[in-house]
Structure 1
C-alpha cells in the first residue's frame, strides 16, 4: 500500500509540476494577468504540499531496515524520480521569479500628452489620476509581496532537497532502471508505425477497390454503346 501511495503521490506531483511550467511560460506575454499570477500561486502551493507528503512517505520507507531488497530498489527509483521533479520545480520557480521581476503587472503610467488645460477640469483630472496611481501602487505592493513569498518558497524547496540528501543517501548512479533508455519512446513509435501501416494498407485496399469499380463501369458503358451501334447498323442495312 505504501508503494502504491508513493507512486500516486509522485504521479500527482509530476502533473502539477508540468502544469506549473506551462503557466510560467505565459509570464510576460499577452496572457499574463492577475488571474495567471494567482493560478501560479495556487499551483505552486499544491506542488509544495505534494512534495512534503512525498518526502515524508519515501523517507519513512527507505529508512525501514526490514524492507525487502526488491521493495527497496523500487522505492529508490521513486526517490530518484521525486528528486528530479523537485529540481525541475525549483528551476521553474526561479524562472518565474526572474520573469515576475522583469515584467511587473501594475506600474503607474503618466499621460504622455500635456493638454495645457487649467482650472476645475484639470483638478478633477489630477484627482482621478491620483486615485488611479494609488490603486496601481496598492496592486504593485501585492505583486511585490507575492515575489517575496516566491523567494521564500524557493529557499524552502532548496532546504527540502538538502534535508533529503542528509536523511537518505540514494546516489542516482546506483539506481537501476526497469527499462532500457528510450523504451517508452520506441514502443510508442512502433505502435504508431503499426497503426500507420495498417491505415496505409486499408487506404491502398480502398483505392484498389475504387479503381476496379471505375474500370468495370467504363467497360460496361463501352459494351452498351457497342451493342447500340450494332443494332443501328443492322436496322440501317
Structure 2
C-alpha cells in the first residue's frame, strides 16, 4: 500500500511539475497576463505540497530497516524520480523568477517577446486561464509580492532537496533501471514497423508464382521490343 501511495503521489507531482513548466514558457510573452501569474502561483504551491507529501512518505519507507531487497530497490527508483522532479521544479521556479523580474506585469509599455510557444501546450494554458476574468488587471502590486514570495519558495525547495539528501542517502548512480535506456522508444518503433509490415501484407495479399512469372516474361518482351526499335532507328 505504501508503494502504491508513493507512486500515485509521484505521478501527481510529475504532472503538476510538467504543467508548471508549460506555464513558465508563456511568461514575458504575448499571452502573459495576471491570470497566468496567478495560475503559476497556484500550480507551484500545489507542486510544493505534493513534494512535501511525497518526500515524507518516501523518507519513512526508505528508513525502514525491515524492507525486503525488492521493495527497497523499488522505493529507491521512486526516490531518484522524485529527486529529478524537484530539480526540474527548482529550475523552472528560478526561470519564472528571472522572467517575471525582466517582464513586470504593470510596467509602462512593458516589453513583450514572442516565446515561440504554440500548438497544444499554448491551447492547454489558454483553456486553463479562460475561466478567470481580468478583474485584477488594474492592480499593480500582485506581481511584486508574488516575486518576493517566489524567492522564498525557491529557497524552501532548495532546503528541501538538501534535507532529503541528509535524511536518505541514495546515490543516483547506484540505482538500476528496470529496462534499458530508450527501451520505450524502441518498442514503439518496433510496434509501428510491425503494424506497417502487416498492413502492406494485407494490401498485397499472398504472392502468386504464376503472376510473378507472367510479370517477368512481360518485362523481358518489353525490353526486347525497345532494343529492336532502337536498332531499327540506328540503321535507318
TM range (shorter): 0.7 to 0.9
Structure 1: distance between partners of 2:19 and 2:200 = 36
8 Å contact from structure 1 (residues 90, 154) kept in 2? yes
Q: Which residue of 1 aligns with 2:15?
A: 15
Where does residue 103 of structure 1 map in the other structure? 103
Partner of 1:80: 80
Shift of 1:13: 0.6
Distance in 1, Cα, partners of 2:96 & 2:195: 41
Counterpart position of 2:140:
140
The equivalences for 1:220-231 within 5 A come to none
| Correspondences of 1:52-91 after superposition (within 5 Å) | 52-91=52-91
Cα contact 2:97–2:147 (8 A) shared by 1: yes
Q: Secondary structure at the match of 1:176?
A: coil
Q: 1:27 Cα shift?
A: 0.9
Query: Structure 1's 63 and 30: CA in aligned 2 closer, same or farther, altered over 3 A?
Result: same
Shift of 1:191: 1.6
State the Cα distance separating 1:34 from its structure 2 match.
Answer: 1.0
**Partner of 1:165 in structure 2?**
165
Correspondence for 1:192: 192
Distance 1:76 1:69 in 2: 10
Gaps of 5+ in 1: 110-135, 206-237
User: What SS does the aligned partner of 1:65 have?
Assistant: coil
Q: How many residues align?
A: 181
* Aligned CA-pair RMSD: 2.1
Q: Relative contact order: is structure 1 or structure 2 higher (C-alpha 8 Å, sep ≥ 6)?
A: 2
Distance 1:137 1:24, change over 3 A: closer
Name the SS for the 2:57 alignment partner: helix
Any conservation in 2 of the 1:108–1:137 contact (CA below 8 Å)?
no
Q: Is the 8 A contact 1:27 1:100 kept in 2?
A: yes
State the match for 2:51 in structure 1. Answer: 51
- After superposition, residues 122-133 of structure 1 pair within 5 angstroms as none
**1:24 matched to 2:27:** no
State the shift of 1:202 in Å: 4.3
> 1:92 & 1:171 partners in 2: Cα distance?
23
Q: How far apart, in 1, do the equivalents of 2:11 and 2:91 lie?
A: 19
- The Cα of 1:189 is off from its aligned counterpart by 1.4
* Higher share of residues assigned helix: 1
Q: TM-score, normalised by structure 1?
A: 0.72
SS of aligned partner of 1:12: helix
Instruction: Give secondary structure in 1 for the equivalent of 2:139.
Output: helix
- How much has 1:80 moved relative to structure 2? 0.3
Deviations 1:171-212 (A, max 9, x none): 01111111111111111111222223334444556xxxxxxx
Asked whether the 8 Å contact 1:10–1:82 carries over to 2, the reply is: yes
